[in-house]
Amino acid sequence: MKVVVLSDVQKDYALGSVTVNALKGISFAIEQGEFIAIAGPSGSGKSTILNMIGCIDSPSAGRVSIDGREVDSLSDKELTRYRREKIGFIFQSFNLIPVLNVYENIEFPLLLKKNVPKKQRQETIGRFIERVGLADRVRNKPHELSGGQRQRVAIARALVTGPRIILADEPTANLDTETGLNIISLMEEINDKEHTTFIFSTHDQYIMEHAHRVITLRDGHIVA
Contacts of 28 (CB under 8 A, 6+ apart): 5, 6, 215, 222
Q: In the complex, what is the shortest distance from the CB of residue 207 to Mg ion, in angstroms, rounded to a whole number?
A: 14
Is 15 a binding residue for ligand ATP by CB under 6 A? The answer is yes
Taking residues 18 to 37 in sequence order and writing x for each that binds ligand ATP by CB under 6 A, - otherwise, the string is --x-x---------------
Q: Which of 4, 46, 165, 202 binds ligand ATP (CB under 6 A)?
A: 46
Q: Specify the pairing of strand 165-169 against strand 2-15.
A: unpaired
30 bridge partner residues: 4
Residue nearest to Mg ion (CB): 47
Measured from the CB atom, the residue of 156 and 167 that comes closer to Mg ion is: 167
* 48 or 124: CB nearest Mg ion: 48
- Cβ proximity to Mg ion: between 22 and 125 the closer is 22
Q: 142 contacts which partner out of Mg ion, ligand ATP, none, CB within 5 to 8 A by kind?
A: none
Q: How far apart are CA 40 and CA 218, in angstroms?
A: 6
Q: Which of 45, 142, 148, 163 binds ligand ATP (CB under 6 A)?
A: 45
34 within 8 A of 212, measured Cβ to Cβ: yes
Backbone φ and ψ of 42, nearest 5°: -55, 135
13 binds ligand ATP (CB under 6 A): yes
Give me the residues paired with residue 65 across strands. Answer: 5, 70
Do residues 67 and 102 lie in contact, with contact meaning Cβ atoms separated by under 8 Å?
no
* E strand map for 134-184: 165-169
For position 202 contacting ligand ATP by CB under 6 A, the verdict is no
Binding-site ranges for ligand ATP (CB under 6 A): 13, 15, 20, 22, 40, 42-48
